[in-house]
Amino acid sequence: MQTGREEGVTSLSGDVLAFFGMLLFCLYFVISKKARTEIDSVPYQLWLTIFALLPVAIAALSFGEGLSPPTGEEWLPVLIISLIPGTGHLLQNFAHGHVSLVLMGLINLLAVAIVPLYAWWLLEEKPGLVQLIGIGIVIGTLAMVVSRPTRQLTGIG
């Protein structure tokens, strides 16, 4: 974890939240993989969204946000935020039924490295030097892992 510098804003509470977010995401992945052996992706996504309502509502209220529905022009960003990431999660949960958990993890590691580049492009949030080095390390390491022969990865043969 890095302390606050000119390259970005950091805080201990943010680091702690990020750590617990990582643990919860890992748990979500394992549960999703297991659930997809018993339920199709669309019903799973529906139930997942319903069950996520309670913790999200608690988090929103604890940060002083209201739970009132959007009005007028506020609906467009809500729909965009719902459809684009929602479709991504649906496709991800569909994939859990067809590929290994390891492959899903590798794909998500790549996404984590690419997202700051999108933020730079779309939001003009220039990544700092440490972030760029981290992105390079993650992408380079993933390239080494996925380019290895299968026999070398599994130890078979």
pTM of structure:
0.60
Find out whether 4 and 11 touch, Cβ atoms under 8 Å: yes
| 85 and 30 both lie in a single domain | yes
Task: Looking at the structure, tell me whether residues 50 and 104 fall in a common domain.
Answer: no
Q: What is the pLDDT of residues 48-94, one digit of tens each?
A: 889 888 988 998 899 888 888 888 898 998 888 888 878 888 888 89
Centre a 10 Å sphere on the Cβ of residue 84 and count the other Cβ atoms it contains: 9
Instruction: Say yes or no to pLDDT of 7 above 70.
Output: no
| 112, 89: one domain | no
Residue 86 and residue 151 share a domain: no
- The distance in angstroms from the start CA to the end CA of the chain is 40
Token output for 41: 């992706």
Same domain, 20 and 94: yes
Give me the domain span that covers residue 35. Answer: 13-65+75-98
| Any domain includes 7 | no
Query: Does 41 share its domain with 87?
Result: yes
Structural domain total, the chain: 2
CB distance 143 to 106 below 8 Å = no
2 found inside a domain: no
pLDDT at 99: 87
Question: What pLDDT does 151 receive?
Answer: 60
pLDDT at 90: 87
The pLDDT, as a whole number, for residue 156 is 47
CA distances for 80 relative to 28, 43, 100, 116, angstroms: 23, 21, 30, 20
- Same structural domain for residues 138 and 79? no
Q: Answer whether residue 18 shows pLDDT above 70.
A: yes
Based on the domain organization, do 84 and 133 belong to the same domain? no
